[in-house]
Structure 1
Amino acid sequence: MNANLNAAGVMISQTVPAPVSSHRKSSLTAGILYLLTFVSIPTFALYDQIHAPNYILSSGSGTAVIIGNILELIVGLTCIGSAVALYPVLRKQNEGMALGLVSLRILEAATIFVGVMFLLTVVKLHQTSAGTEALVNSNTLVIMYDRIFLIGQSLMPAINDILLGILLYQSRLVPRSLSLIGIIGGPVLLAGDFLILFDFIEQRAPLIALTAVPVAVFEFSLGVYLIVKGFKPTPGTLNK
């Protein structure tokens, strides 16, 4: 609250907005970036055509795949950004685990970028009307993409969410019930990943989508909570 004199010499008061704390800025940034990770959901439909055995020999457009690639690049960048935004707060709780989370998120983003390169190569083969001799290479690249997708956008997020859930649970920066969703959801997603790795189930089977629901709920709820509420005050975050 500031007091000033007006033209008539009468004292008037002005309300000065309280400065936004660095931790509030971190929570807002991280929350927005977590919600942005959901832009990749349409890729499941956009990539349908590349799983056709003779995709590069078809006359269809590669626009849908390119759009999906752009969405995945956004997700990769948000992976890094969200971890970096959370780091200043989480390191006060456990610096080693916080640094580990940043490192794993960077690795997650790297696998996403590699997967995008695989698909862009497939699109290039399609656009250049590559012959049947390139068909095997194209199908191999798609298989490699599916595997790196499993690692980068399923297995890695599961591990990251377990780690983040534990950090948040211990620090009480968010409601513990929210943290528990990540701690429980991560192993559920990992179970689905191992079923795929050991060929018990197809990667695109509906059951696999169900194993991702708890992690999706955790990340979406966390994003909304961080935007709306921010971090709960703790001895390490109060007035920061």
Structure 2
Amino acid sequence: MLRKRTNSGRRSAVITGVLLIVGLVTGIFSVVPVIDGVDYLVQASTNENELLTGAFFQLLMVVAYVGVPIIMYPILSKHNKGLALGSVAFGIIAGVFIIIGVIILLLLLTLSHEFAKVGTLDVSSFQTLGGLLREGRDLVNHVATTLAFVLAMLLFNCIFYQTKLVPRWLSVWALIGSTLSILASLLLMIHFIGLDTTYMMLNIPIAFHQLVLAIWLIIKGFNHNTIG
């Protein structure tokens, strides 16, 4: 029975580690620089493949963001069912926001195609709508989605800290990194900062933690003495 629980825990750890890496990789490839440019209404339609590729990788992020807390739930719920369930809930919420972000991106592509047909006629209305869509996408991707997933990570890392399923230095790193990432999203939401160096610096700790945790889980797995 102990060996069965150990094998199950090992399998869950590896899958979780792989999903964390998938989340990082797909997040990088989902970036669409064209949308952030000044001439995005023209460039979006001429770089359609770039937008569609970004949308595809953004959809793949759903697998990671929702999958991580779900895969870990059977193990974490044995120690704190409330926090484990909350982590799953926030992971699902993050997945929903990711899909909304993809829809907004595709709407921007459609708007760009329509702008190319119209030309210079009624430019202001296209710019206004495009600006609203870009602002909405930034809020969905960098505020709503980030907050939801970071909160999911914060909850399961609280369980990690309590149980020592992974070394406590990893859990403490996560708690600090999550706090900084939440702060970054809130400051962005109130327009105190933009998608600039400050925002990136505040998110770097949790991003590196995600990578280190993934590698740890794949190589070391969970502490067998605390799996339960």
Report the TM-score range of the alignment, normalised by the length of the smaller protein.
Answer: 0.7 to 0.9
Q: Which amino acid aligns with 1:214?
A: P
Q: Does 1:138 align with 2:123?
A: no
The answer for the alignment partner of 2:196 in structure 1 is: 205
Matches within 5 A, 1:147-162: 147-162=139-154
Q: Distance in 1 between matches of 2:97 and 2:149?
A: 11
Q: Which residue of 171, 176, 183 corresponds with 1:184?
A: 176
Q: In the aligned structure 1, how far is the partner of 2:188 from the partner of 2:40? A: 24
Q: Give the TM-score taking structure 2 as reference length.
A: 0.87
Confirm or deny: 8 A CA contact 2:163 2:226 kept in the other structure.
no
Provide the rounded CA distance (Å) in 2 between the counterparts of 1:111 and 1:191: 19
Identify which of structures 1 and 2 has the higher relative contact order when contacts are C-alpha pairs closer than 8 Å and 6+ apart: 2
Contact 1:182 1:218 in 2 (8 A): yes
Instruction: Give distance in 2, aligned partners of 1:37 and 1:130.
Output: 37
1:71 CA drift (Å): 1.1
Alignment gaps of 5+ in structure 1: 1-17
Describe the SS at the equivalent of 2:46: coil
Alignment: residue pair count: 217
Task: Give the secondary-structure state (helix, strand or coil) at the position aligned to 1:69.
Answer: helix
Distance (Å, rounded) in 2 between the aligned partners of 1:235 and 1:121: 48
CA contact (8 A) 1:31 1:227 kept: yes
Of residues 208, 216, 224, the one that matches 1:217 is 208
**Cα drift, residue 236 of structure 1:** 4.2
Alpha-carbon offset, residue 53 of structure 1: 4.1
Higher helix fraction: Structure 1 or Structure 2? 2
Q: Report the residue type matching 1:206 in the other structure.
A: T
State the alpha-carbon separation in 2 of the partners of residues 220 and 30 from structure 1. 11
Match of 1:195 among 162, 187, 195: 187
Q: Name the amino acid aligned to 1:96.
A: G
1:175 aligns with 2:185: no
Q: What one-letter code is carried by the residue in structure 2 that aligns with 1:48?
A: P
Q: Deviations along 1:16-49, whole A, 9 cap, x unmatched? A: xx877111111111111011011211334xx221
Could you tell me whether the CA contact under 8 Å between 2:157 and 2:174 is conserved in 1? yes
Q: Deviations over 1:33-89 (max 9, x none)?
A: 011011211334xx2211234422346222112111111111112111111110110
Match for 1:188: what amino acid?
Answer: L
Percent identity (aligned): 25
On the 8 A contact 1:168/1:174 being kept in 2, the answer is yes
Q: Look up the match of 2:80.
A: 94
